[in-house]
Amino acid sequence: MAAASLAYAIGISPADAYINFVPNYEYVIDYSVASYRPFEFYVEGPFSEYTKIETLHHSDTQGNFRVHLALPEDYEPPGKHRLYVAAKEKPSEGTVNTIAGIRGFIEIDVPFPGFYAEMELYVDDVNAGEPVPMSAVIRNKGTLNISDARVVLEILDDVRSVKTIRSDSVGIETGGAYDFKTTIPGNELKPGRYVLKAVLYYEGRTKEKTADFRVGAFDVAIVNYTDTMFNGSVNLFEIEVESLWNNRIDTVYMDLSMIDSGKSISTVKTPPFDLPAWGKKRSSLYWNTEGIPVGKYDLEIVLHYDEGVRTENRKIYIVAPPVEEAPIPVSTIILVIIALMLIFFNIYFIFSRRKKEKKEDKEGKGG
C-alpha cells in the first residue's frame, strides 16, 4: 500500500540513464518532477561531488531541472556506479505525515585499465522448423582499443557438438561494442535441448559464456503419475504432464484405462486444461477400484492435446489397503483400570493384615 501511494504522490522523468565514463567530459541531462505537494530535488551517491543542479522551472507541484555531470580525469574503482537523482516532498508545517520520495539514477560505466572485454549471449527458444537467431555482443570495457576480437559459437546437444560458427576479426574502440549476429536454419536442429557456447578471443585473452535454448516439438510428455492404488476403494490419482512446444497448447486431457490381459477393466478421464509454452500441469481425479483384485496391470494413457493424439503404456499396481488395528473400546479400558485398582487394593489389604498380625504376636509374647 505504501509503495502505491509513493508512486502516485511524486514522479520523476527520466527514471534512469546509462553513460560511459569519458575523462573530463560533461554530460547534461534534463529532468522533470511532478508532485502533489511542495518538493525538493537533489543527487546522492557516487559522482555526486561532480554534479551541479540547474533549475529551469520550479513551482510547488512541478519542476524542470538540468543535471550537469562533469567527469574527472579518472575514477576508482572501475565498473558500474549509480548516481541517484532524487526528489522528495516537503512535510507540511504543523502536521505529521508520510514523506513521499522517488529516485532515478545515472549509471556511469568506468572502464578497466588496459584490455578488458565483456560478452553477452542471446538466443531464444523456437519450434521445430523455425530459424534460430542468436547473437554475441562484445563490449570493450577497457581503457585500450581492441584491434583483434573474434567469436566462436558452438551448438551442443547432450553428447556432441552439432554446429560451429566463427565471426570475422573486428576492432572495438574503448567504450564501443560489436554485435555478432547469426541464424541457424530451421531444418538443421531437431527438437530437443541445446547449449550455445560462445568463446571470445581478443588481444591474447579469452572469455567464455553459455546459454541454454530449446527447439520445441508439438508434443506433451508425462512427467509423473500415481503408480500405486488400493483395491476396493476410491483413490486420488494424479498425473503430471509437460509441454514440449514453444507456444500455448489448448484443451489437453487424458483417457486412462487399466488393462488386464488385453482387456480394459476400468477407465477414467482427466478434466481438460491448457498448457503454456514449456509449462507443466498436474491433473487430479478420483479412481474407484471396487472389484479390482490386487495385482500388476497395464495402464494405457491416451494424451489428447489440441489436434494431437498420442498413446503411452505404463504400469500400475493395485495393493491391499493397510490393516488398521481396531481401537480399544472405552468400556474395556475402564474395566482394566477397575481390575488393576482391585488387585492393588487386595495386595495392600493382605500386606496390612500380615503386618498387624505380626505386631499382635510380638505384643503377646512380650506380655
**Residue the block writes with cell 581503457:** 143
What whole-number distance in Å separates Cα of residue 362 and Cα of residue 109? 109
**Residue the block writes with cell 489389604:** 349
**Can you tell me whether residue 54 is helix, strand or coil?**
strand
Q: Which residues contact 115 (CB under 8 A, 6 or more apart)?
A: 142, 144, 146, 202, 203, 205
Peptide bond just before 272 cis, omega within 30 deg:
no
CA geometry: angle 297, 298, 299, nearest 5 deg: 115
What whole-number distance in Å separates Cα of residue 43 and Cα of residue 27? 15
Q: Which residues contact 309 (CB under 8 A, 6 or more apart)?
A: 302, 303
pLDDT at 62: 85
DSSP string of 248-312?
-EEEEEEEEEEEETTEEEEEEEPPPEEE-TT-EEEEEEEEE-TTPPSEEEEEEEEEEETTEEEEE
Asked if residues 49 and 62 have their Cβ atoms less than 8 Å apart, the reply is no
What whole-number distance in Å separates Cα of residue 324 and Cα of residue 231? 15
Q: Domains (ranges, CATH) in the chain? A: 2-110 (2.60.40.10), 117-216 (2.60.40.10), 220-319 (2.60.40.10)
**How confident is the prediction along the chain (367 residues), in pLDDT tens digits per residue?**
333 333 346 788 888 999 999 999 999 999 988 877 788 888 999 999 999 999 888 888 888 989 999 999 999 999 999 999 988 887 766 555 566 778 889 999 999 999 999 999 999 999 999 999 999 999 999 999 999 999 999 999 987 999 999 999 999 999 899 999 999 998 999 999 999 999 999 999 999 999 999 999 999 999 999 999 999 999 999 999 999 999 999 999 999 999 999 999 999 999 999 999 999 999 999 999 999 999 999 999 999 999 899 999 999 999 999 876 666 677 777 777 877 777 776 776 676 766 766 666 666 655 5
Asked if residues 5 and 102 have their Cβ atoms less than 8 Å apart, the reply is no
pLDDT at 35: 77
Closest by CA position to 202, among listed 156, 152, 134: 152
**Residue the block writes with cell 550537469:** 68
pLDDT at 3: 34
Residue 34 half-sphere exposure toward CB, CA atoms < 13 A: 6
Closest by CA position to 196, among listed 220, 217, 215, 178: 215
Secondary structure letter of residue 356 according to DSSP: H
Q: Is the dihedral angle over the CA atoms 243, 244, 248, 249 positive or is it negative?
A: negative
pLDDT at 33: 87
Q: Is the dihedral angle over the CA atoms 276, 278, 282, 288 positive or is it negative?
A: positive
Q: Which residues contact 229 (CB under 8 A, 6 or more apart)?
A: 235, 237, 287, 289, 316, 317, 318, 319
